[in-house]
Amino acid sequence: MLPAASRISNLNAQQLATNGLLEIAFEHWFSIPYFYEKLTDGEPEAVLIFY
């Protein structure tokens, strides 16, 4: 079995949260404010980035 770190997609970004927990998500969720909300609201710019 491969180590967990080698199974993480290259499309994901990691960052250490202020509470010390490791956050793993798509890079855009960290770099674009409210990206998830825009994506779930169906805003065209966010949808085009995600797909």
**Dist CA 9 CA 14 (whole Å):** 11
pLDDT at 2: 45
| Beta-carbon-side half-sphere exposure of residue 20 (alpha carbons within 13 Å) | 0
Mind listing the pLDDT tens digit of every residue in the chain (51 residues)?
445 555 656 667 778 888 988 877 777 777 788 888 888 899 998 888 877
pLDDT at 44: 92
Query: Dihedral of CA 24/28/34/38: which sign?
Result: negative
